[in-house]
Amino acid sequence: MPEFSHEDQQVSDGVNLLISMLVRYPEIGTINFEPDSNSLKLTFMISGILSDKDYKATKKMLTDSALAYHMLVGLRNSHIDVEISSYRQVTILTILRDVHTLSRGEIALAIKLLREQFIDRLVADRNDAMLEEDLLMQDELIEDMLENMRQENNGHNSLIGIREDGRVFVFNK
């Protein structure tokens, strides 16, 4: 019987977090976990190219909303960075957040804001088969895995989670 080590549990927590986030939030295209900075990079795709003015407004909205959320829940010293790039006729919006202060509520807020801002331009892999109880279970898993990632300081692997044709894949980088 193979032994189960603490490092295996850390990898499992990271993999489960990425899977749960991708399943729960079909708007997230990819997620990267970087153990060196203990951060998550959430990537979203928006059809069409954003103007510089729209990008600045979106970045300000996401940053201000996150900071207001942090203030309301009593967080200090959190870090959020919003970046944008484009490829052909797609805008790629990336949110970089530290795991220690990130919460499921903040993720849900950012996605809700992006949904409202970009209505049907935000690329999402819709899964109408998800029941309300499945969504609630994913919410609980996300919160639990974030808490586990906060408590474990090192030993994590760099991970990337991607969505392709309705499936979710997680790889070591």
Angle subtended at Cα 137 by Cα 148 and Cα 152, rounded to the nearest 5 degrees: 5
For residue 93, which of 160, 34, 28, 11 has the smallest C-alpha distance? 28
pLDDT at 131: 66
The label of the residue with tokens 């109408």 reads 128
pLDDT on residue 1: 41
Determine which helix (DSSP H) or strand (DSSP E) holds 108, and give its type and residue range. helix 104-118
pLDDT score, position 28: 94
pLDDT tens for residues 100-139?
889 999 999 999 999 999 988 999 887 666 667 777 888 8
Per residue of the chain (173 residues), what is the pLDDT tens digit? 444 344 445 457 888 899 999 988 999 999 999 888 889 999 999 999 999 999 999 999 999 999 999 999 988 877 889 999 988 999 999 999 988 889 999 999 999 999 999 988 999 887 666 667 777 888 888 988 888 887 765 556 889 999 888 788 999 87
